[in-house]
C-alpha cells in the first residue's frame, strides 16, 4: 500500500501531497522536509529508489517536478514507478501537455484526478480511459451546477 | 434579506479566487508570510458569509494554504458546512479539504457521520464517489463502526464505479474497526469474480493487503487466486496475486510446488520488468519456504539468478538496484548460487550511484566464507582508501566490521589479521565510528584468549603513537580506539613485553587533552600496569625499577587530579594516594606486589545480552509487593532535614575515599563478593570472581569530523595484506600436511575448535591459524525459554488476524446472518447410507456441528484435488455397482455435489418490510440452474411475491450457478409484529446439470429473524434522549453480564455493530445508547462496566421486544 505521494519542485516547494494513512500535521511537515532534502540531494544518474525510515521511496523527476511516493516494504518498486508515470500521463491528457503551473493553479483538479486514480493508497482503476471518463463526467456535473445560475438567481431575485 | 444577498454577491466579485491567491503569493516572494496572513484574514471574513459559493471558494484557498504548511484546523467546521452543500461543485471542494486537513483528532468529524451516510446513499454516483474518496482519508474508528454497514451495502451497488471504491475503502474500515471484517468478507470474496475488471482488481488489492498481514486466514482462497492468476492478463492484478502467493506459501508448501511452474513460465514469457521482478521475488520466497526437506530446485534458482544477473548488468540504474536487492534474498538460502557472481557484485562497488554501491556491500556481507573473507575485505580496504565523502567511507567501515564480526566471528580464521585490519582502520581520517572499532578490539581481545598477546602488543604500539591518531584535536572520533587500547593493555598487561614503556606512554601530558572518559580509563589502567610492574619485580629486594615506577606515577598523576572531569579526578586522586602509601611500604621493604595485584584480580567474562531478562522469578516472589511498609507522609517530612544535612557532605566523601587503605578495600571487596555469592538475583560472571567493567556512554561524545590532508601512517604497524599472503601459504602448507597425516591416521578432532563453526562442508578444511577459543556468552542457570516479544503491540493489522473460515457465533452483521449449509447428498446413488445421514444432519442444527461439517468439507476439498480419477467414475454413475464403500470415502463422494447457502443478511426497510440477502454458493462440480426459492409463510411474516402469484408459489432466483461460483439474491419479507424473534422454514429447489444428466434437487433451510434485525441504527442527541427518558412512556428492564474482559469501547462497538445501536453519550465507563425499531419503538440502553461485570439498564416502549433484544445481546457476549 502506498503511504503517501508528494509532488515538489526542484526548489523544494511542495506542489501536492496526499497521505493515505492518518499522520499528525507536525510529523507530515517533518517528513516532507526531510524527504525533500534527501531526494533533491540525489544526483540525476542515481536510481529512483531509496530506503528511508521503514519505507521505500520511489521518485521520478519530470521536467522541474519531482513525483515521490512512499510505499511499504513488500511493495513492488517498478509498479510504483509505473503508477507515477500513469499519473503523469493522466495529468498530461487532462491538461494537455501538463506543466508545473497547471498543477499550481489547478491544484484541486490535480487532486481530483489523483483521487480517481488511487484511493486509500491502492490503484483504483488500471484503465486510463475509465479514470479520465470519471473525471470528465464529474466535471460535467460541476458545470451543470454552475451554468444555470444567473446573476439574478444568485441574488435571490429571480 | 435580499439586500444582504445582493451585498454578498457584490462582495464576491471582489473576492480573490484560488488563482488570484496563487498569483498573489508568487508576487509577494519577499513578504510571503505577511501577504498570507492578510489573505487568511480575508478568508475568515468570507467564511462568515451565508453564501455557500463564497464559503467554498474560501475553503478551496485554505486547502492550498494548508499544503503550504499553514494551520487551517480552525476552519474545520466550515469545511463540514461546505461538505454538506447539495451542489456537487462545493461538495467536491469540501470533501477534498476534509481529506487533506482532517485527522483522527479533528473533533468535528463526529458531526459528519450523517452527512456522509446521506452522501453514500445519494442517487448521484459522483456524490457517493466523492464521499468514499474523502472518507478513505479521514475514517476514524467511530466513523468506521457507524458506516461499515452502509459501505458494505455499496459493495453490491449496481454501478461498478461505486463498487470498486466501496471495496477499496473496506480495507480502511477493517483497519479501524476489525469486527467488520468477518461479516464483510463473504461479499468481498465474491467481488474477486466481479464482472467489472476494476472491481475485481480492487478486491484483489484489498485481499492481498489483508492476507499479507495474516496469511493463514486466507489459505482457503488459494485455489480461487490460482485460477485468477492463470486467467488474468492484467499485470497490475497479476503482481498483486503473485505477491499474495508469496505470503501464503510459507504456510502451505504444497502450494509452493504448484506455483513454481506457472511462475517460471511467466518469468520466461513476460516482457514487463515489474512482473518479472515480482515473479522472481516470489519464486525466491517459495524456494525459501520449500528449502527444508525438499529436493533442490536448482533449475529455478539458476533461472532467477540468471535473470537477476541480466538486471544487474542492465544500464538502467533502477534495474541494477533491484537486481542486487533480490539477489540478497537468494543469498540467505542459496549462498552458493550467488557467490559465483562475486565478480559482478564487486564490480558494482565501483558504480557511480552510491545506493547501488551500498546494496552491493549488503550482498558482500552474506557472501563471505572462510575462504574468501580476507580477499573481500582486502578489496573493501582498497575502496576505503579511494572513497570520496565520509558517509560512504563510514558505511564501508561499518560493513567491514559487520562482515568480519558476523555470527560470532564465524569466518575469521586468523585473528591477528583481524586485529591488524582494525588497527589499519584507525588510520581513517575523520570517521565517526571510532567507538565501533574500539568495541571490536575489546570484544576480540576479551573473547579470543589466544590473541591477547598479539592484541596487547598492537595496542601498546597504538598507545605509543597516540599523537598520530589524535592529531591536533582531541575531538576526533577515532581517538575512541585509545579507550580500547588503554583498557586492553591494562587488563591483559601480563602479556606486555615492556609494561613500563606503556605506562609511560599512558601518562604523557598530552593525554590530558583526550576526552574525559578516555582519560579515566587511562588512569585506571595505569594502576593495573603499575600492579604488573610491581609483580614483575616481586622478590627483588629494594627493586630500583619498582620504586621508579611508583615515582613516575606520583609525578604524573597530579596532572589528572587537577582534571575538570570528575571521574578522572576521583580515580586519579584515589590511585595517587594508594601509590603514595605503597611507596612508603616499599621504602620499608615490605612486599606489596601481591596485594596490589589482588586489586585487579579476576577474569572478565561476557554476559549474554538477554541474560538478565532470562532470570526466572522464583516462586512466591512478588516484585511489586512492598518489602517494608511504605513510609507515611509525616515520616518523610521528618526525614527532610536529614537529607539536607547529607547534601552538605560531598567534599568530605572524596577525601575519605582516599584514606581507605587497600586492606579495607580488599575487605570490602570480599564482603561484597560474599554478598553477591549469597544473592540469588545477582548474575555471576564466573564462579571465581567478578570484575566490574563500566563502559561510559560512548555514543554521547560530541564528534567533529575533520578532514586531514595527509594520510596518517602508524610506524611499526603490521600490514594486514601480509596476512593474506601468509594465509594462502599457510593453507597450502596445511593441505599438504594433512594429506600426509591422513595417510597415517584419521585426523583427531580438535577439542578447542570454536563452537560456532557451522560453515559449508568445504570450509571445514580450513583450520584457524591459532588455536582460537571464543568465550561464549554466559546465561543464567535455568534461563527462561526464548520469548518472541518483538512484535509491535500497536500494529493495527494484529486486530485483523481473524480466522475467516471458522464460524464464530457472535458474527451477526446487519440485521442478521444465518449460515445455512445443508449438505445435499446425491441420495439416489446411495439410498440407504445417505438418507439416514442426511436426516441426522438436519436434526442437528447446532453451530458446533456446522463447524465440524465445514471443516470436513474443507478436508475433502483437498482430497478432491488429489483423487480426481475416482470422481469421474462417480459421475458416470458406475459406483452403484461397486462394493459398499468405506464410510469416509462415500462421504467425500456425497459432498461433491454440495450446495451451500452461504449466509443470509437482512437489510432494513421502512415500516414492516425486511430485506434478506442470500448468498448462494455452488460448491459442487456441476452446473446449477432453475433455482427456486420458497419460504413457508407464517401468520406474522410473509415472503413478498409478485402480484398474481399464489401464497405458496416459489420465487425464481434470477441467475444460474456454474461450479464454484457464488451469487447473491435479495428477498423482501413483510412482517407484522416485530416484538418476537421468528424462524421460517424454506426450501430451495434447483436442477443439477452434469455432463450427461440433469437431476432435480432440493435444499431445506431455516431463516432466523432476530429482534435485533428489526432495529435500525438511528443517531440521537443527548437532549432528545433525556426528554425521551423523562417522558415516562418507557418500561425498564436490565441485564448483567459477567466475566467480560474486553475494553469498554470494544464492548460498545460490539453492541453498536451487532445490535444496531448508536452511542448517545459516553462518560468514562458508562455510556448511553439508542436505537429504533422499524416500527418506531425507542430502545434506550445505559451500559456500565466495572471490573469484568457489565450491567445494562434498558428502556423501551415495548417490553417484550426489549426482553428479546437483551437476550440477543446476552447471547452475543456469551459467545465471545
CA B1096, CA B1047: separation in Å to the nearest integer?
16
Which residues are paired to A151 by β-bridges?
none
DSSP H or E stretch at residue B381: helix B373-386
pLDDT per residue of chain A (158 residues) written in tens, 0 to 9: 899 999 999 999 999 999 998 788 888 899 999 999 999 998 888 899 988 888 999 999 998 899 999 999 889 999 999 999 999 999 999 999 888 889 988 888 999 999 999 998 999 888 889 899 999 998 888 877 665 454 545 555 44
Q: How many Cα atoms are found within 13 Å in the side-chain-facing hemisphere of B966? A: 22
B-chain CB neighbours of A141 within 8 Å are 88, 124, 126
Which whole number is the average pLDDT over B1065-1083? 85
CA B750, CA B757: separation in Å to the nearest integer?
12
Residue-range domain boundaries for chain B? 1-101, 104-183, 214-291, 421-606, 899-1009, 1014-1118
Which whole number is the average pLDDT over B348-371? 85
Residue of A3, A18, A22 to mutate, interface with B, max B Cβ within 10 Å: A22
Task: For residue range B116-139, list pLDDT tens digits in order.
Answer: 999 999 888 999 999 999 999 989
Across the interface, whether the CB atoms of A155 and B5 are under 8 A apart is answered yes
A-chain CB neighbours of B100 within 8 Å are 17, 111
Across the interface, whether the CB atoms of B88 and A81 are under 8 A apart is answered no
Q: Kindly write down the DSSP assignment for every residue of B795-860, as one continuous string.
A: -GGGGG---TTS--TT---SS-EEEE------TTTSHHHHHHHHHHHHH---HHHHHHHHHHHHHH
Task: For residue range B469-495, list pLDDT tens digits in order.
Answer: 666 554 567 888 889 999 999 989 888
pLDDT beyond 90 at B1068: no
SS3 B969: strand
Task: Write down the pLDDT at residue B897.
Answer: 37
Closest CA to B255 of B224, B278, B301, B232: B224
State the CB neighbour count (10 A cutoff) for residue B50: 10
Q: Are strands B1070-1077 and B1062-1067 parallel, antiparallel or unpaired?
A: antiparallel
Across the interface, whether the CB atoms of B197 and A123 are under 8 A apart is answered no
For residues B498 and B459, the answer to whether their CB atoms sit within 8 Å is: no
Task: For residue range B498-553, list pLDDT tens digits in order.
Answer: 888 899 989 988 888 888 889 999 999 999 999 888 888 876 666 788 888 889 99
Q: Which residue of A has its CA nearest to B236?
A: A126
Task: For residue range B1013-1057, list pLDDT tens digits in order.
Answer: 788 777 777 888 888 888 877 888 888 888 888 888 888 888 888
Across the interface, whether the CB atoms of B104 and A22 are under 8 A apart is answered yes
CB contact B352 to A (< 8 Å): yes
**Minimal Cβ distance to B236: which of A25, A126, A134:** A126
B-chain CB neighbours of A108 within 8 Å are 18, 60, 63, 93, 96
State the CB neighbour count (10 A cutoff) for residue B845: 11
Which whole number is the average pLDDT over B824-832? 29
Q: Where does the pLDDT of residue B804 fall: very low under 50, low under 70, confident under 90, or very high at 90 and above? A: low
Which residues are paired to B917 by β-bridges?
B905, B970
pLDDT beyond 60 at B9: no
DSSP H or E stretch at residue B1067: strand B1062-1067
pLDDT beyond 80 at B812: no
SS3 B156: coil
Q: Where does the pLDDT of residue B881 fall: very low under 50, low under 70, confident under 90, or very high at 90 and above? A: very low
CA of A11 vs chain B CAs: smallest distance (Å): 13
The mean of the pLDDT values for chain B is: 75
Helical ranges in B51-124 per DSSP H = 52-68, 76-83, 88-101, 113-120
Task: Write down the pLDDT at residue B7.
Answer: 52
B-chain CB neighbours of A29 within 8 Å are 69
| CATH class (in words) of the domain with range B1014-1118 | alpha beta
Task: Write down the pLDDT at residue B167.
Answer: 95
Closest CA to B929 of B999, B1004, B871: B999
CA B400, CA B415: separation in Å to the nearest integer?
14
Percent above pLDDT 70 for chain B: 74
In angstroms, the Cα distances linking B568 to B298, B515, B618 are 62, 10, 41
Contacts of residue A13, defined as CB under 8 A and 6 or more positions apart, other chains included, come to none
Task: For residue range B968-977, list pLDDT tens digits in order.
Answer: 777 788 888 8
Task: Write down the pLDDT at residue B750.
Answer: 45
Q: What ipTM score was computed for the predicted complex, to two decimals?
A: 0.93
Task: Write down the pLDDT at residue B909.
Answer: 47
Closest CA to A17 of A57, A67, A61: A67
DSSP H or E stretch at residue B407: helix B390-409
Phi, psi at B146, each rounded to 5°? -75, -30
C-alpha dihedral over A76, A82, A83, A88, to 10 degrees?
A: 160
Pull the grid cell for residue B12: 464576491
CA B825, CA B827: separation in Å to the nearest integer?
5
pLDDT beyond 60 at B170: yes
SS3 B996: coil
Closest CA to B1079 of B942, B939, B912, B909: B912
Across the interface, whether the CB atoms of B69 and A120 are under 8 A apart is answered no
For residues B756 and B774, the answer to whether their CB atoms sit within 8 Å is: yes
Across the interface, whether the CB atoms of A46 and B353 are under 8 A apart is answered yes
B-chain CB neighbours of A135 within 8 Å are none
Across the interface, whether the CB atoms of B137 and A151 are under 8 A apart is answered no
Across the interface, whether the CB atoms of A120 and B87 are under 8 A apart is answered no
Closest CA to A36 of A71, A62, A67: A67
Task: Write down the pLDDT at residue B930.
Answer: 82
pLDDT beyond 80 at B821: no
CA of B465 vs chain A CAs: smallest distance (Å): 39
A-chain CB neighbours of B126 within 8 Å are 134, 137-138, 141
3-state secondary structure B859-927: HHHHHHHHCHHHHHHHHCCHHHHCCCCCHHHHHHHHHHHCEEEEEEEEEECCCCEEEEEEEEEECCCCE
Across the interface, whether the CB atoms of B2 and A155 are under 8 A apart is answered yes
C-alpha dihedral over B226, B227, B231, B237, to 10 degrees?
A: -50
Q: Which residue of A has its CA nearest to B18?
A: A105
CA of A88 vs chain B CAs: smallest distance (Å): 17
Domain encompassing residue A23? 2-155
Q: Are strands A122-123 and B817-820 parallel, antiparallel or unpaired?
A: unpaired
pLDDT beyond 60 at B746: no
- The total domain count for chain A is 1
Q: Are strands B941-943 and B966-975 parallel, antiparallel or unpaired?
A: antiparallel
Per-residue b or e along B807-820, where b marks 16 or more CB atoms closer than 10 Å to that residue's CB: beeebbbbbbbbbb
CA of A5 vs chain B CAs: smallest distance (Å): 12
Closest CA to B173 of B958, B657, B813: B813
Pull the grid cell for residue B665: 578495600
Q: Which residue of B has its CA nearest to A135?
A: B126
Closest CA to B63 of A76, A108, A87: A108
pLDDT beyond 80 at B679: no
What CATH fold (topology level) applies to the domain B899-1009? Answer: Immunoglobulin-like (2.60.40)
pLDDT beyond 60 at B1090: yes
Q: Where does the pLDDT of residue B385 fall: very low under 50, low under 70, confident under 90, or very high at 90 and above? A: confident
Task: Write down the pLDDT at residue B774.
Answer: 60
Which whole number is the average pLDDT over B570-587? 91
Task: Write down the pLDDT at residue B630.
Answer: 76
CB contact B93 to A (< 8 Å): yes
Q: Where does the pLDDT of residue B358 fall: very low under 50, low under 70, confident under 90, or very high at 90 and above? A: confident
pTM for this model (two decimals): 0.61
- Note the CATH architecture for domain B104-183: Alpha Horseshoe (1.25)
CA B3, B5, B8, B9 dihedral sign is negative
Task: Write down the pLDDT at residue B62.
Answer: 92
Task: Write down the pLDDT at residue B20.
Answer: 86
CA B286, CA B255: separation in Å to the nearest integer?
9
CB contact B122 to A (< 8 Å): no
For residues B831 and B890, the answer to whether their CB atoms sit within 8 Å is: no
Q: Which residue of B has its CA nearest to A120?
A: B136
Task: Write down the pLDDT at residue A67.
Answer: 95
CB pairs under 8 A between A and B: 158
Which residues are paired to B1072 by β-bridges?
B1065, B1086
B-chain CB neighbours of A24 within 8 Å are 103, 105
Range name among B56-60, B767-771, B795-799 with the lowest pLDDT average: B767-771
Which whole number is the average pLDDT over B700-715? 42
CA B653, CA A59: separation in Å to the nearest integer?
62
Q: How many Cα atoms are found within 13 Å in the side-chain-facing hemisphere of B531? A: 22
CA A23, CA B644: separation in Å to the nearest integer?
48
Q: The domain spanning residue A149 has which CATH number?
A: 3.30.450.60
Across the interface, whether the CB atoms of A156 and B71 are under 8 A apart is answered no
Across the interface, whether the CB atoms of A81 and B93 are under 8 A apart is answered no
Across the interface, whether the CB atoms of B68 and A141 are under 8 A apart is answered no
In angstroms, the Cα distances linking B940 to B907, B977, B1006 are 18, 6, 16
State the CB neighbour count (10 A cutoff) for residue B620: 5
CA of A67 vs chain B CAs: smallest distance (Å): 16
Q: Which of residues 314-333 of B touch A (CB under 8 A)?
A: 317-318, 320-322
Determine whether B195 is exposed, middle or buried from the number of CB atoms within 10 Å of its CB (0-12, 13-18, 19+): exposed
B-chain CB neighbours of A146 within 8 Å are 89
Distance of CA B670 to the CA centre of its chain: 48
Across the interface, whether the CB atoms of A47 and B317 are under 8 A apart is answered yes
A-chain CB neighbours of B201 within 8 Å are 123, 125-126
pLDDT beyond 50 at B818: no
Q: Which residue of B has its CA nearest to A43?
A: B353
Across the interface, whether the CB atoms of A155 and B132 are under 8 A apart is answered no
Closest CA to B917 of B815, B804, B990, B822: B815
CB contact B269 to A (< 8 Å): no
Give the angle B369-B374-B377 at the CA atoms, nearest 5°.
100
Across the interface, whether the CB atoms of B69 and A29 are under 8 A apart is answered yes
Q: Where does the pLDDT of residue B94 fall: very low under 50, low under 70, confident under 90, or very high at 90 and above? A: very high
CB contact B202 to A (< 8 Å): yes
Task: Write down the pLDDT at residue B632.
Answer: 67
Contacts of residue B6, defined as CB under 8 A and 6 or more positions apart, other chains included, come to A155, A156, A157
pLDDT beyond 70 at B103: yes
Pull the grid cell for residue B966: 457464488
C-alpha dihedral over B1027, B1030, B1031, B1037, to 10 degrees?
A: 120
Q: Checking phi first, is residue B899 left (phi over 0); if not, alpha (psi -120 to 50) or beta?
A: beta
pLDDT beyond 60 at B843: no
Scanning the structure block, which residue is given the C-alpha cell 609494561?
B499
Pull the grid cell for residue B409: 566471528
Which whole number is the average pLDDT over B900-924? 61
Q: Where does the pLDDT of residue B961 fall: very low under 50, low under 70, confident under 90, or very high at 90 and above? A: confident
Task: For residue range B41-62, list pLDDT tens digits in order.
Answer: 989 988 888 888 889 999 999 9
In angstroms, the Cα distances linking B910 to B151, B790, B913, B1022, B1059 are 19, 51, 6, 25, 18
CA of B1075 vs chain A CAs: smallest distance (Å): 31
Across the interface, whether the CB atoms of A120 and B171 are under 8 A apart is answered yes
Across the interface, whether the CB atoms of B92 and A112 are under 8 A apart is answered yes
Across the interface, whether the CB atoms of A47 and B321 are under 8 A apart is answered yes
**Minimal Cβ distance to B64: which of A46, A107, A119:** A107
Task: Write down the pLDDT at residue B861.
Answer: 41
CA B1065, CA B1063: separation in Å to the nearest integer?
6
Across the interface, whether the CB atoms of B92 and A125 are under 8 A apart is answered no
**Minimal Cβ distance to B164: which of A1, A124, A157:** A124
pLDDT beyond 90 at B151: yes
CA B362, CA B569: separation in Å to the nearest integer?
45
CA of A100 vs chain B CAs: smallest distance (Å): 13
Which whole number is the average pLDDT over B386-402? 83
Amino acid at each position: 500500500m502506498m503511504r503517501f505521494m508528494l509532488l515538489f519542485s526542484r526548489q523544494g516547494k511542495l506542489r501536492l501531497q496526499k497521505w493515505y494513512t492518518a499522520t499528525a500535521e507536525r510529523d507530515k511537515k517533518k517528513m516532507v522536509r526531510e524527504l525533500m532534502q534527501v531526494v533533491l540531494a540525489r544526483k540525476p544518474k542515481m536510481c529512483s529508489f531509496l530506503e528511508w525510515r521503514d519505507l521505500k521511496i520511489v521518485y521520478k523527476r519530470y521536467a522541474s517536478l519531482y513525483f515521490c511516493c512512499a510505499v511499504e516494504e513488500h511493495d513492488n518498486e517498478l509498479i510504483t514507478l509505473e503508477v507515477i508515470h500513469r499519473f503523469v500521463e493522466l495529468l498530461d491528457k487532462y491538461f494537455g501537455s501538463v506543466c508545473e503551473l497547471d498543477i499550481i493553479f489547478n491544484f484541486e483538479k490535480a487532486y481530483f484526478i489523483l483521487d480517481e486514480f488511487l484511493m486509500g493508497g491502492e490503484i483504483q482503476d488500471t484503465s486510463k480511459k475509465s479514470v479520465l471518463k470519471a473525471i470528465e463526467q464529474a466535471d460535467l456535473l460541476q458545470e451543470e451546477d454552475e451554468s444555470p445560475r444567473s446573476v439574478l438567481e444568485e441574488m435571490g431575485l429571480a | 434579506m435580499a439586500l444582504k444577498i445582493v451585498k454578498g454577491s457584490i462582495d464576491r466579485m471582489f473576492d480573490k479566487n484560488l488563482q488570484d491567491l496563487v498569483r498573489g503569493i508568487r508576487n509577494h516572494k519577499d513578504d510571503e508570510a505577511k501577504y498570507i496572513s492578510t489573505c487568511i484574514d480575508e478568508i475568515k471574513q468570507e467564511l462568515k458569509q451565508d453564501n455557500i459559493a463564497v464559503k467554498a471558494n474560501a475553503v478551496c484557498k485554505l486547502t492550498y494554504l494548508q499544503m503550504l504548511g499553514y494551520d487551517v484546523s480552525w476552519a474545520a467546521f466550515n469545511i463540514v458546512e461546505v461538505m454538506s452543500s447539495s451542489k456537487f461543485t462545493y461538495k467536491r471542494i469540501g470533501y477534498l479539504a476534509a481529506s487533506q486537513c482532517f485527522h483522527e483528532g479533528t473533533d468535528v468529524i463526529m458531526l459528519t457521520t450523517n452527512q456522509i451516510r446521506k452522501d453514500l446513499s445519494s442517487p448521484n454516483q459522483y456524490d457517493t464517489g466523492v464521499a468514499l474518496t474523502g472518507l478513505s482519508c479521514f475514517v476514524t474508528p467511530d466513523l468506521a463502526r457507524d458506516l461499515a454497514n452502509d459501505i458494505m451495502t455499496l459493495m453490491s451497488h449496481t454501478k461498478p464505479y461505486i463498487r470498486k471504491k466501496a471495496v477499496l475503502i473496506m480495507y480502511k474500515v477493517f483497519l479501524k474497526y476489525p469486527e467488520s471484517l468477518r461479516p464483510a468478507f463473504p461479499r468481498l470474496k465474491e467481488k474477486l469474480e466481479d464482472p467489472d475488471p476494476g472491481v475485481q482488481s480492487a478486491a484483489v488489492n484489498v485481499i492481498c493487503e489483508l492476507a499479507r498481514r495474516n496469511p493463514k486466514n486466507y489459505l482457503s482462497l488459494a485455489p480461487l487466486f490460482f485460477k485468477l492468476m492463470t486467467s488474468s492478463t492484467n499485470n497490475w492484478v497479476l503482481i498483486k496475486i503473485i505477491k499474495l502467493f508469496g505470503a501464503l506459501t510459507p504456510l502451505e508448501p504444497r502450494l509452493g510446488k504448484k506455483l513454481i511452474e506457472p511462475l517460471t513460465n511467466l518469468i520466461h514469457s513476460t516482457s514487463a520488468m515489474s512482473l518479472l521482478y515480482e515473479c522472481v521475488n516470489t519464486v525466491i520466497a517459495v524456494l525459501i519456504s520449500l528449502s527444508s526437506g525438499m529436493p533442490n530446485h536448482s533449475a529455478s534458482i539458476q533461472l532467477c539468478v540468471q535473470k537477476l544477473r541480466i538486471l544487474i548488468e542492465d544500464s538502467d540504474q533502477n534495474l541494477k538496484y533491484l537486481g542486487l536487492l533480490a539477489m540478497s534474498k537468494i543469498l540467505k538460502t542459496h549462498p552458493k548460487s550467488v557467490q559465483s557472481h562475486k565478480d559482478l557484485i564487486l564490480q558494482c562497488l565501483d558504480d557511480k550511484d552510491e545506493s547501488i554501491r551500498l546494496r552491493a556491500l549488503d550482498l558482500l556481507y552474506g557472501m563471505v566464507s572462510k575462504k574468501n573473507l580476507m580477499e573481500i575485505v582486502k578489496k573493501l580496504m582498497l575502496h576505503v582508501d579511494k572513497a570520496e565523502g565520509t558517509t560512504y567511507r563510514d558505511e564501508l567501515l561499518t560493513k567491514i566490521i559487520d562482515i568480519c564480526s558476523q555470527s560470532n566471528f564465524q569466518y575469521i580464521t586468523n585473528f591477528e589479521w583481524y586485529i591488524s585490519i582494525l588497527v589499519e582502520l584507525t588510520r581513517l581520517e575523520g570517521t565517526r565510528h571510532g567507538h565501533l572499532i574500539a568495541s571490536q578490539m575489546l570484544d576480540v581481545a576479551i573473547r579470543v584468549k589466544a590473541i591477547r598477546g598479539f592484541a596487547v602488543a598492537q595496542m601498546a604500539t597504538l598507545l605509543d603513537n597516540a599523537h598520530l591518531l589524535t592529531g591536533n584535536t582531541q575531538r576526533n572520533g577515532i581517538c575512541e580506539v585509545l579507550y580500547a587500547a588503554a583498557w586492553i593493555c591494562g587488563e591483559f598487561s601480563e602479556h606486555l613485553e615492556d609494561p613500563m614503556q606503556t605506562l609511560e606512554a599512558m601518562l604523557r601530558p598530552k593525554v590530558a587533552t583526550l576526552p574525559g572518559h578516555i582519560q579515566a580509563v587511562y588512569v585506571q589502567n595505569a594502576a593495573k600496569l603499575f600492579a604488573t610492574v610491581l609483580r614483575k619485580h616481586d622478590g627483588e629486594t629494594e627493586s630500583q625499577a619498582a620504586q621508579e615506577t611508583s615515582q613516575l606515577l606520583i609525578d604524573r598523576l597530579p596532572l589528572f587530579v587537577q582534571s575538570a572531569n570528575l571521574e578522572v579526578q576521583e580515580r586519579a586522586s584515589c590511585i595517587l594516594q594508594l601509590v603514595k602509601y605503597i611507596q612508603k611500604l616499599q621504602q620499608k621493604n615490605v612486599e606489596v606486589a601481591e596485594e596490589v595485584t589482588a586489586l585487579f584480580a579476576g577474569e572478565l567474562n561476557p554476559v549474554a545480552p538477554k541474560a538478565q531478562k532470562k532470570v526466572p522469578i522464583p516462586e512466591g516472589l512478588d516484585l511489586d509487593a512492598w518489602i517494608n511498609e511504605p513510609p507515611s507522609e509525616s515520616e518523610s517530612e521528618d526525614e527532610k532535614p536529614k537529607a539536607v544535612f547529607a547534601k552538605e557532605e560531598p567534599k568530605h566523601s572524596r577525601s575519605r575515599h582516599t584514606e581507605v587503605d587497600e586492606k579495607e578495600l580488599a575487605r570490602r571487596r570480599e564482603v561484597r563478593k560474599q554478598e553477591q555469592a549469597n544473592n540469588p538475583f545477582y548474575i555471576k560472571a564466573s564462579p571465581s570472581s567478578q570484575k566490574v567493567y563500566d563502559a561510559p556512554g560512548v555514543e554521547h561524545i560530541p564528534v567533529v569530523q575533520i578532514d586531514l590532508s595527509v594520510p596518517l601512517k602508524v610506524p611499526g604497524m603490521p600490514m594486514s595484506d601480509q596476512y593474506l599472503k601468509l594465509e594462502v601459504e599457510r593453507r597450502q602448507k596445511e593441505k599438504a600436511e594433512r594429506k600426509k597425516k591422513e595417510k597415517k591416521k584419521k585426523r583427531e578432532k580438535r577439542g578447542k575448535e570454536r563452537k560456532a563453526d557451522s560453515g559449508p562442508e568445504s570450509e571445514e578444511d580450513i583450520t584457524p591459524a591459532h588455536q582460537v577459543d571464543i568465550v561464549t556468552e554466559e546465561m543464567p542457570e535455568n534461563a527462561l525459554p526464548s520469548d518472541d516479544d518483538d512484535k509491535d503491540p500497536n500494529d493495527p493489522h494484529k486486530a485483523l488476524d481473524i480466522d475467516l473460515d471458522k464460524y464464530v457465533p457472535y458474527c451477526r452483521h446487519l440485521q442478521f446472518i444465518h449460515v445455512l449449509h445443508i449438505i445435499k447428498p446425491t441420495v439416489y446413488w446411495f439410498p440407504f447410507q445417505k438418507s439416514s445421514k442426511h436426516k441426522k444432519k438436519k436434526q442437528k442444527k447446532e453451530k458446533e456441528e456446522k463447524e465440524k461439517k465445514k471443516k470436513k468439507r474443507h478436508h475433502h476439498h483437498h482430497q478432491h484435488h488429489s483423487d480426481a480419477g475416482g470422481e469421474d467414475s462417480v459421475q458416470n454413475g458406475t459406483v452403484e455397482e461397486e462394493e459398499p464403500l468405506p464410510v469416509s470415502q462415500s462421504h467425500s463422494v456425497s459432498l461433491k455435489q454440495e450446495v451451500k447457502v452461504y449466509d443470509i443478511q437482512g437489510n432494513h426497510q421502512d415500516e414492516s418490510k425486511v430485506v434478506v440477502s442470500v448468498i448462494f454458493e455452488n460448491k459442487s462440480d456441476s452446473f446449477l440452474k432453475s433455482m427456486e426459492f420458497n419460504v413457508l409463510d407464517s401468520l406474522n411474516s410473509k415472503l413478498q411475491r409478485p402480484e398474481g402469484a399464489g401464497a405458496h408459489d416459489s420465487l425464481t432466483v434470477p441467475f444460474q450457478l456454474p461450479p464454484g461460483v457464488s451469487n447473491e439474491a435479495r428477498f423482501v419479507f413483510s412482517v407484522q409484529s416485530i416484538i418476537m424473534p421468528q424462524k421460517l422454514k424454506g426450501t430451495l429447489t434447483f436442477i443439477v446439470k452434469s455432463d450427461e444428466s440433469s437431476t432435480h434437487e432440493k435444499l431445506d433451510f431455516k431463516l432466523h429473524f432476530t429482534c435485533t434485525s428489526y432495529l435500525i441504527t438511528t443517531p440521537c442527541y443527548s437532549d432528545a434522549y433525556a426528554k425521551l427518558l423523562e417522558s415516562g412512556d418507557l418500561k425498564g428492564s436490565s441485564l448483567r453480564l459477567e466475566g467480560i474482559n474486553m475494553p469498554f469501547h470494544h464492548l460498545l462497538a460490539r453492541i453498536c455493530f451487532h445490535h444496531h445501536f448508536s452511542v448517545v453519550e459516553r462518560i468514562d465507563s458508562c455510556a448511553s445508547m439508542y436505537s429504533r425499531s422499524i416500527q418506531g419503538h425507542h430502545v434506550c440502553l445505559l451500559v456500565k462496566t466495572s471490573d469484568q461485570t457489565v450491567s445494562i439498564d434498558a428502556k423501551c416502549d415495548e417490553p417484550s421486544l426489549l426482553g428479546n433484544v437483551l437476550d440477543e445481546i446476552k447471547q452475543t457476549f456469551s459467545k465471545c
